[in-house]
Structure 1
Amino acid sequence: MSTGTQTASSDELIQQGNGQAGPRRLLAFLIRPSLVTALLYLVFIVALSIYKQYDALHYVHIGTVFSQHVAHGSAGYDGQFFYYMVTDPQHASAHIDDPSYRYQRIIYPLLTALLSLGQKALVPYAMLLINFVSIVGSVEIAAYLLKRRKLSPWYSLALGLYFGQTTAFIFDTTEPLTYFLICLGLLSLEWKRTRTAALCMSLAVLARETAVLFPLGYIALLFWRRRWWESIRFALISLLPTVLWYGLIVVIFGRTGLGYAPPFERIPFRGLFVFYQDHNRFPPLVILMLIPTVLSIIAFARATLLRRWGDCTWLIWGLNLALTIFMSIASYEELVSAGRLSTGLVLAMLLYGWQARDRLTLWASQIYTITFILYIAGLFILHFPS
């Protein structure tokens, strides 16, 4: 009798345990970096829309200079150019500052056109949706790759909550999609699908040219390991489509537009310190750009001294650091442009951290997570430009 009672009790405990396992699994699934990021962005965009009385079209930031050709009107921002490409492809050039330059970044407007189904009213929503999904998807991939190396997936929040991603989201620019495509490429490399990785990185470069620093790093690694054919193949897949597209741009517009982008500075952070007397612009640049970048430089110097290369990820990190350090005055002129242009640095730092299993670097990268809170506080309290 006692044995039977004990067996019955054991069965009841097992059933209770199984009953509790389901909710625990559901809770573990819901409390994950990507979904936390998604929730924060949803709350943010709803709150900002109510606070500013914005609808989806406001995030395109259409100015009167290009839409109505008012010489001394409002300039708007880059999202308007992609909007024109989708809504009026035949006459878009008339509303774009330099068509040969803007059409280099063709993937975002193409995807927007596909999702909006030819409906002009849906275009602003499609632009927001693409960037929202891209940010959340990037965090999900980064978290997965961290877990594969037995590292905390929560380090991935740095990528999703970097204020540069936030600015790109509310200004309808290409960076979230660009670095989501890079993340897809990194995931493909993890799964040993080199050709797919090269293709994803090719699309990333066609979304934003600064993404080229990532495939260049892997091409250099393959070349260094004397895997000549793989290096050539990766280069052809990841870079040749951009070369061909730029060639087509020359045929259409008569030039590539490569010279339109502002040149890099020769002195580190000169582009930032030019504004040291601007009391409205300089403090946010120091807090959101300079301090995180200096911390990244210190972490990079440490990794260099320890000769921990993390395959080619040390090189990719260094290239993205240089991009931020020598960024032009024009890029630092606006908090929005400075933040979104340096998004690749955040991903590169995380990439190095998980590849080299360097927890100290991963911890240092979390300063970028804090920038999300600071930027939102600036928008609602200090009235940063939005």
Structure 2
Amino acid sequence: MTAAELAPRRTWPVVAAAAAIYVLFVGLRLAAFDGDPSSFMIAGDGVADPAETPSEVTVFRGVRGYDGQAYYRLSRDPLTLEPEQFGITFTRPAYWQTRIGYPGVVWLASAGGQAALVPWTMLLVNVVALLAMTMATATIARRAGRSSWWGLVPVAWGGYVIGIGQDLTEPLAGALLAGAVLAARQRRWRWAAVAMTAAALTRETSLILAFAVLASRVAMPIFPRLLRQEERPVPPWWVGLAPFVLYGGWRIFVRRRWADVVASPPDDGILGPPLVSLFEYLGSVDSQDIGNLALLVPTVLTIGLLAPAVLRRDGHAHERLALLGYLVVLACLPVWDRGQAYLRWCCEPVLLGWVLSLGRPVRVRGVLAGTVALVWLLSVIATVHYPGIARWPG
């Protein structure tokens, strides 16, 4: 039997394990809310009107809600031009509609956004996405000469717990990004471009990988010894350009559609000097921040373990540049007082850092797996009852 024939047998047990841990989490969260899948989207009466929302949508009182309620709206009507629909008001309509990937898939899978199907479909799409991501990461690990079981590490990151638990974009974006990395390593350039483009239309931060492909191509003649590796080639320039062109075209189209409907919101310029926000937060913590610190410490330790992978010469040049880009963005974000925010922002650097760390000593990978497992457990505990009787740290 060939290696190709054996591959599914080596990866399917890992996928089954991922299914077990996430089905357990989903089951616990459903049980906490009497089997109501709409509780995952966290519609709050600060944005959703309980008198106007469909009967199958639970609206939590006294909370503004979270991003999942916007994706629910788009899953019902992806090309809407209504500021208020299904009882939910868009706060930044063009911003949400630009992230069309996840709600677009849900709309298709729910037979055109059928009201009774959408809440369950939002949940199902994210679970299936994480299983697809597991298949990709397990295959990457096996091709790197490691056990396929190492593929569980990035999939178990706490940001994906939040993604499934609150109907967000991270699981699908993670699956597409992992698929793009795998396709590029297999030199399947067209599939890499397709996956990168789809990831960008799901979560625009995926464009950092596309930018890294272009930057590697530009820098290769300047730093040939550092970047030119025949056994680990950089994808062609068009693989990185295609996501920018297609995402940019969609973004312009969406913003022009909404320009005559609602006023444009202020720019989302949230980046500041590197690490300043983190140190400011650490310098101001008090007893109320204990829960967030318990989550932040293993998160920072995980990122610290992954960061040296940027310098590994045995890694693909575009992957190393992408990891560097994600780390720079992460360091400049003012999110450290909010566990949900920084765990979500860490999804891409954890994935890229893990890919590049497969060649590191087993003790390093073991510590990394331990910190990821701790963050996963803390994220599950914080999410299962949220926002009912639970409050997220930060």
Would you call these one fold, judging by a TM-score over 0.5? yes
**What is the alpha-carbon distance in structure 1 between the residues aligned to residue 290 and residue 280 of structure 2?**
11
TM-superposed CA distance for 1:259, in Å, is 4.7
Q: How does 1:48-67 map to 2 (within 5 A)?
A: 48-67=29-48
| Contact map agreement 2:107 2:118 (CA 8 A) in 1 | yes
* Matched position secondary structure for 2:83: helix
Greater share of residues in helix: 1
| Partner Cα separation in structure 2 for residue 82 and residue 290 of structure 1 | 31
How far residue 380 of structure 1 moved from its aligned partner, in angstroms, is 6.2
Q: What 5-or-longer segments of structure 2 have no aligned partner?
A: 1-5, 52-60, 222-227, 229-233
| 1:31-50 equivalence runs, <5 A | 32-50=13-31
Question: Identical aligned pairs, as a percentage?
Answer: 19
Kept after mapping to 2: 8 A contact 1:297/1:321 = no
Equivalent residue number for residue 55 of structure 2: none
Task: Work out which of the residue numbers 350, 353, 369 in structure 2 matches 1:349.
Answer: 353
1:238 corresponds, among 227, 239, 243, to: 243
> Are the aligned partners of 1:135 and 1:177 in contact in 2 as well (CA < 8 Å)?
yes
Stretches of structure 1 that go unaligned for 5 or more consecutive residues are 1-24
Asked whether the equivalents of residues 79 and 172 of structure 1 are also in contact (C-alpha less than 8 Å), the reply is yes
> Which residue of 53, 71, 94 maps to 1:100?
94
**Distance (Å, rounded) in 2 between the aligned partners of 1:272 and 1:343:** 21
Residue 192 (structure 1) shift: 1.3
Q: Per-residue deviation at 1:311?
A: 2.4
Q: Is it true that 1:312 corresponds to 2:291 in the alignment?
A: no
1:337 aligns with 2:341: yes
**1:373 aligns to what?**
377
Cα pair distance change 1:41/1:168, threshold 3 Å: same
Residue in structure 2 matched with residue 321 of structure 1 by the alignment: 327
Q: 1:159 offset after TM fit, Å?
A: 1.5
One-letter amino acid of the counterpart of residue 184, structure 1: G
Relative to structure 1, the CA distance from residue 38 to residue 262 in structure 2 (aligned partners, 3 Å threshold; closer, same or farther) is farther
How has the CA–CA distance of structure 1 residues 383 and 309 changed in structure 2, closer, same or farther, with 3 Å as cutoff?
same
Q: CA deviation at 1:357?
A: 5.6
SS in 1 for 2:116: helix
| Residues 75-125 of structure 1: per-residue CA shift (max 9 Å, x gap) | 111010011122255464221111121112011111110000031110011
Closer/same/farther in 2, CA of residues 258 and 345 from structure 1, 3 Å limit? farther
Say if 2:146 is the partner of 1:140. no
Corresponding residue to 1:75 among 64, 84, 90: 64
**Displacement of 1:298 after TM fit?**
4.9
8 A Cα contact 1:86 1:113, kept in partner: yes
Report the Cα distance in structure 1 between the residues aligned to 2:124 and 2:50, rounded to whole angstroms.
29
**C-alpha distance in 2 between matches for 1:175 and 1:222:** 28
Q: CA deviation at 1:28?
A: 6.2
Whole-Å Cα distance in 2 between the matches of residues 122 and 272 of structure 1?
45
- What is the one-letter code of the residue matched to 1:93? P
Does structure 2 conserve the Cα–Cα contact (< 8 Å) formed by 1:85 and 1:92? no
What pairs up with 1:184-263 in 2 under 5 angstroms? Answer: 184-226=179-221, 231-254=236-259, 259-261=266-268, 263=270
Cα deviation for residue 358 of structure 1 reads: 5.8
1:152 and 2:139 aligned: no
Q: Show CA shifts across 1:131-157 (max 9, x none).
A: 111112111111111111211222222
C-alpha distance in structure 2 between counterparts of 1:230 and 1:160, whole Å? 25
Q: Which moved more, 1:312-321 or 1:125-134?
A: 312-321
Would the alpha carbon gap of residues 236 and 102 (structure 1) be closer, same or farther in structure 2, given more than 3 Å must change? same
8 Å Cα contact 1:60-1:171 kept in structure 2 = yes
Partner SS state of residue 68, structure 1: coil
Q: Distance in 1 between matches of 2:64 and 2:360?
A: 45
Amino acid at match of 1:176: P
Deviations along 1:297-350, one digit per CA (max 9) or x if unpaired, are 35524763x76654232222222222222222xx44432222112111110111
Task: Rate the CA distance shift 1:172–1:269 in 2: closer, same or farther, 3 A.
Answer: farther
Please identify the structure whose Cα radius of gyration is greater: 1
- Map of 1:363 onto structure 2: 366
Whether 1:277 aligns to 2:277 is: no
Determine if contact 1:157/1:369 at 8 Å carries over to the other structure: no
Is contact 2:189–2:236 with CA below 8 Å preserved after alignment?
Answer: no
Task: Identify the residue that residue 18 of structure 1 maps to in structure 2.
Answer: none
Deviates more, 1:49-58 or 1:243-252: 49-58
Alignment partners' CA distance in 1, 2:18 and 2:90: 33
Q: 2:296: which partner in 1?
A: 289
Distance 1:360 1:103, change over 3 A: farther
Which residue of structure 2 aligns with residue 12 of structure 1?
A: none
CA distance in structure 2 between the partners assigned to 1:47 and 1:69 by the alignment: 25
Which letter maps to 1:74? V
Question: Helix, strand or coil for the counterpart of 1:263?
Answer: coil
1:75–1:261: structure 2 CA closer, same or farther, 3 Å change rule? same
Which amino acid in structure 1 is aligned with residue 152 of structure 2?
Answer: L
* 8 Å CA contact 2:176, 2:196 repeated in 1: yes
Matching of residues 103-142 of structure 1 within 5 Å: 103-118=97-112, 119-142=114-137
Deviation at 1:359, TM superposition (A): 4.5
Cα 1:86/1:51, change in 2 over 3 Å: closer
2:147 is the alignment partner of 1:166: no
Q: What is the CA distance between 1:285 and its match in structure 2?
A: 3.0
**What SS is found at the alignment partner of 1:65?**
coil
Alignment partners' CA distance in 2, 1:65 and 1:247? 29
Tell me, yes or no, if the aligned pair for 1:159 and 1:369 is still in contact at 8 Å. no
Q: Cα offset for 1:360?
A: 5.5
Distance 1:252 1:363, change over 3 A: same
Count of aligned positions: 354
Q: Which amino acid aligns with 1:106?
A: I
